[in-house]
Structures are given as structure tokens and as C-alpha cells.
Amino acid sequence: MSRTQQAIADAGDRALIGYLPAGFPDADGCVEACVALAEGGVTAIELGLPYSDPSLDGPVIQAATQATLDRGFRIDEAFEAIEEITRRTSVPVLVMTYWNPVLRWGVDRFAERLAAAGGAGLITPDLVPENGRDWIAAAERHDLDRVFLAAPSSSDARIDVVLQASRGFVYTVSTMGTTGARGSMDGAARTLADRLRVRREALGVDLPRCVGLGISTGAQVADVLGYAEGAITGSALVAALRDGGLEGLRERVADLAAGTLVQS
């Protein structure tokens, strides 16, 4: 069981995973914000690599990452942040990145540097397992998680491939579209989580389902944890950090973490 999967199990399969962009609002501020997430009760941290042409990110995350790119962000800054975050907390840190930056850096070089920094693995939203053989091999060599996405549109055959290729958890996309806070979660997330449960039982794969896209309140976290092992939140945290600094971020993560508590 990987560090990330162990952390989810230690959370009683009621995990909260928090996303923030690397380098936002600045290099030091990113580290402090991630430490605040860990102190606030997140199970794992997603650190997003800023990217100039994101296909999945909504407007809140796009604006934050563009501001970070405009000030001259470099990938080494993300590795330096991971080193400091993992020095100060025991929460697993995964990098969420589009594939092109990894490819340009060098797949094995990236994996080696990530492992050396203390990172737990990669979430790759635009990479399918069939095109990820180099990454899967590098992840095996460096003991890193590889998190692939399953979407409501995924066939059972696609779900099987994702389950067999992933390690750590399966990113369970709640709805078709981009990231961003939503007032309510639709039924597609529950349906997909149920399909993943059926397929993992058929395959004998013990892998958590963590639902992301649109989760912004503690009530939504609690709802998701009624049918999945983890809830992922991003835009709500980025907005809280942007508008309220560390104090605003701490308040928002406290509300979200309250949703992980088992209801009596």
C-alpha cells in the first residue's frame, strides 16, 4: 500500500484531498498555505504545476496559475516547495500536472527529482494509461503513485484500464467540464463511483475512489464520502487563499474537513 493509499486508509476511507497551485501566491506563500492545509486536516495535498494551456482548470485556478507563470515560475520551484512541505508535515504531496511539462523535462528525470523531493506521485489529467507506459515504468522505478482519471463518460473497459494502471487512488471526475465550485453535486459522481466499485471488485483491485471537480463545502464533502473514499477540493481553497490569505484558507479548510467527520 502506497503512502497516499495508507493515508486514505488511516483517515477511515473518509479522506479530504486539497489542491493548490505550486508557487501561488508566491514561493514562500505556497509552502505556508500547504502546511496550513495539513494542519487543517487534509489527508493529502495536490500541488498543481502551472500550465499555459490548461484544458481542465476553471477560471479561479486558471487566474492563479497564470499570475504564477507571469512572475517567472519554474518547475524547480515546485520541487523545492515539496521538499519544504514534506519536511514540515507528514501529509503525502502529489503533483497534479498536464503531461507536456513532464515530457519536456524528461520522464525519468522528473520522476527521480520528484521522489528525491519527497513527493508521493503524479496526477495526470490529460494522460491515458495507454500513452503513459514511460511514466508507469518510471513511477515503478521510483516508488511513486500514478493517478489516472475516470470520467462519467468512461466505458467499463476504460474503467478497467484506469483501475489496473493507477496506484494511490483513482481520480473520480464528478461531472463533465472544468474545475470550479458548484452549488450542488449531480448524480453522475455517485453513478461513476458505483461503477468503479463494481469493476474493482471484479478485478480484485483495492483502490480508493476520490471524487473531484466542484466540491466547495463541508456538506458536499460529507455527501461524497457517503459513496466514495475521498473528496477532492481545489477552486474553493484557491479562492479562499486569494481573498483571505492564510486565515481565509484555514477557515475554509476547517469547514471542508468538518465534512469528513462520521455523522452519528
Active site residues: 46, 57
Residues 6+ apart with CB under 8 A from 204: none
Does 25 sit behind a cis peptide bond, omega within 30 degrees of 0 on the bond before it?
Answer: yes
125: closest CA among 159, 145, 151, 107?
Answer: 151
Q: What whole-number distance in Å separates Cα of residue 68 and Cα of residue 118? A: 23
218: closest CA among 11, 56, 42?
Answer: 42
Residues 6+ apart with CB under 8 A from 163: 150, 170, 196, 199, 200, 203, 205, 207
Q: What whole-number distance in Å separates Cα of residue 33 and Cα of residue 29? A: 6
Cβ atoms of residues 77 and 29 within 8 Å: no
Query: Exposed, middle or buried by CB within 10 Å (0-12, 13-18, 19+), for 219?
Result: middle
Q: What SS3 state is found at 95?
A: strand
